[in-house]
Amino acid sequence: MLYKLWMFAHESPATIVWYLSQLDTIPVCVGTALVVVVVVVAIAGPLTHNGACCGVGGYCGYRDTYCGAGCVSNCGATAQCGKDAAVFNTICPLNVCCREYGFCGTTEDFYSTRCQSNCVLDPKPPDGAASVDLLSNKVIGYYESWMARKACHKVAPTDLLLDALTHLFLDTTNLKSIKEDIKVFVSVSGWTFSDNDTATQLVFGDIAASTINRQKFANNVVHFMKKYGFDSIDLDLEYPGASDRGGNPEDTVNYVLLLKTICETFDASGSDFGLTFTAPSSYWYLRWFYLPGMLKYADWINLMSYDLHGVWDAINPIGSIVQAHTNLTEIKLAASLFWRANVPPAKLVIGFGFYG
Q: Which of 294, 190, 281, 284 is nearest to 243 (CA)?
A: 284
**Contact of 232 with 183, CB cutoff 8 Å:** yes
The neighbour count for residue 132, using CB atoms within 10 Å, is 10
Q: Which residues pair with 169 in a beta bridge?
A: 142, 185
The neighbour count for residue 215, using CB atoms within 10 Å, is 14
Please say if 330 is a catalytic residue: no
Give DSSP secondary structure letters for 148-203.
GG-SSS---GGGS--TT-SEEEES--GGGGT-TT-EEEEEEE-TTTT-TT-TTTTH
Q: Which of 211, 262, 269, 193 is nearest to 234 (CA)?
A: 262
Q: Which of 185, 174, 283, 290 is nearest to 235 (CA)?
A: 185
List 238, 250, 264, 330, catalytic entry? 238
Active site residues: 238
